[in-house]
Chain A
């Protein structure tokens, strides 16, 4: 083929991480807490939307990353969290407020839909009971009760829009959707562009705000949300433990953004890497046939060369949904060995959907930089040995689609 003139792949470095989870703010703090000798107690709220447990946003002072109050007001929490975390990543990479670098920086965001106005919705649903002109009720209440600019807090691409406005990242701006696969697509696309020379430096990530009933409903309609070992009884359990019960996802509030750079670009400006992002691979296929699903996951691991790279530990984005969660762990053990140290971060930070994959990549990068790893998040997870040289990151969606990344010590 004559078309293939870009196969001389550039190396992709992670040079900045912004991370916020229920455990707190900042990549370093999350590393400290999660890599302590013993895994921290999960930060969860099992009362507010019982019987569901959610991982809330920690206390943050939005103004430290979003200085203009008008900007904070124009956003809802998922956008605030994302914009805030994007600022942390830029700061960490030493790019924040560098207009030259920000104005040429590409922006790639994984996003879902935003918050609804819960009060207005609940009011309409209450008034609708016994009402035989619901169409009129909806028109009247929405026209009168919705905040005019709320729509802008709901559009998927407006997280990216807010990042451009607040942090002046304007090289290009793309938003991907599709629940967990949005995060996979975002990072896969970002890595491909840098590898092929289509981008030199790029801000990529996502954010998710879990603490809201309108986020839980769409997934619970398909019975994908954890509500106790026995459905509906409440209480919390880790991702592995849930597998002996009814399983499901505990939604988690997370902001995870990464600065990815062409290694040459990073070197030229004296930036140091957390890790090398060696590759991302993904696929889609029917989940009705376990053997076919296993074959796809096995192929992805082979395509990334995880075994050859000596990956002996995995940061897993397993959702906790029964069936696919154990299937993923089985494939990992079959391909990378029985002693593989798997850490399902859902146990600690919850399921942040679009931000699942960015969060996993961030956690792997932190471990590689710090020459350490995380203690088992649950008893069943195997301990890890000497400092890691490569780590596999997985996001196998609770619905269709699956992706993985291989990170290596830079």
Chain B
């Protein structure tokens, strides 16, 4: 029997041969999946820094890594390193020479207050203050390590060097759709014939005081601080914002032909991706939902799904009033009445919103959902929103035969990316 290596459009079939994940639920695929299907929450009161006086004092922080420095770039690198290692080991590429490029969804890193104060204190006798004092201090003493940490390309450069990916690594951002975009970039490169394999990684360890304040000022975060594990409640009537969270995921993509030739274990298929930008508003989606609808339709079309036969939807489901309502409306526009019978759940009810990493983390969980035949629940679903009559797999996991998954990712700046995954090669 001859095997087909191309899809319905004559393009190479792309499979996943390794993945790794870190979230507030734990390190590694096994720990995460166990907690996820048990309906466990990783959201806690923040204890890494003082939250005195803040409107939101909870998050899904990752406190069990040993970063070289406790800062957004330090934690982001530590998590990215861990998930990349796990994915490459699983894919049997763990020899320091990965045969393709790196696409890295990079968190927003910058000089933090701890850095500013440390530099300032080195120059106590200065007769200038503020940025002038930082510059004066920097002229006399080189802060190489801090410099390297706050360059936006550093994490990708370091991963590329350590794991031997090919060429110039790519750092990208599409805000909260970044994780999905990293995969999209890998898919496109393989389809162009540029490479047979791609390493797609996303990481975000940017839960800082300033980060919490920034999102708070935009009224994006929940203020349900009393019981942190119950604060993220996607699709509930009383949802009042998302929970900031940290996490990382890495996925090894390769052509089916390449994977088959080297006898790799195939964990799932990437069937399609759709994207459409929104020009309506910086943080809100077009009232008519057209761009999201187009992105979902483009993803389905790209995957060759003509009859909307999706077994499960891994929702963006942030738990903000606007996102969940719009996501429902837009899915209904695509799927019609059928949407009410397709199970759809939000991993964010348990892990919070891992921002830059979200799309990639949820891609790993989508693939696991198909492989394990278990749909992770939407927890904290105690007060359903009657305006959103979806089957959200409430509170308890569900055994199900899932062969096709749609995973949505939306971000500030009008970013919409939808991925379609399949369980079986043909």
Question: Which residues does A use to contact B, with CB under 8 Å?
Answer: 1-7, 49, 52, 74, 107, 111-113, 116, 118, 121-126, 128-129, 134-136, 138-140, 142-143, 146, 148-152, 154-158, 160-162, 164-165, 168-179, 181-182, 184-185, 188-189, 192-193, 196, 198, 213-214, 216-224, 227, 231-232, 282-284, 286, 399-403
Contacts and interface: CB of A to CB of B under 8 A. Distances in A.
B257 interface: yes
Counting contact residues on chain B (CB < 8 A from A), the size range is 35 or more
Interface of B: 5-6, 10-12, 49-54, 106, 108-111, 113, 116-117, 119-120, 129-135, 138-139, 142-144, 146-148, 150-153, 156-157, 160-161, 167-175, 178, 181, 185, 188-194, 196, 209-210, 213-218, 255, 257, 275-283, 291, 411-415
A393 B402 CA distance: 50
Given A164-B414, A399-B153, A6 B132 contact: no
B96 to A, nearest CB: 14
Contacts of A399: 151, 153, 157
A218 B151 contact: yes
Given A155-B412, A169-B277, A175 B173 contact: yes
Contacts of B130: 118, 121-123, 125-126
B412 A112 contact: no
A170 B257 contact: no
A193 B51 CA distance: 46
Contacts of B173: 111, 155-157, 175-177
10 contacts: A2-B257, A3-B11, A7-B193, A136-B53, A143-B213, A151-B218, A155-B175, A165-B280, A193-B192, A284-B168
A135 B209 contact: yes
A122 B172 CA distance: 30
A169 B279 CA distance: 8
A174 B413 contact: no
Nearest to B217: A148
Contacts, number: 280
Given A142-B213, A232-B139, A170 B291 contact: yes
Leading 7 A-B pairs by shortest Cβ distance: A161-B413, A178-B153, A122-B130, A222-B147, A213-B131, A3-B12, A221-B147
B133 A198 contact: no
Given A107-B277, A134-B113, A182-B152, A176 B161 contact: no
A150 B413 CA distance: 14
B69 to A, nearest CB: 14
Contacts of A223: 138, 142
A172 B53 CA distance: 40
Given A157-B412, A157-B415, A217-B138, 7 more contacts: A1-B196, A142-B209, A151-B214, A151-B217, A157-B174, A177-B171, A218-B151
Contacts of A192: 189, 192, 194
B54 A213 contact: no
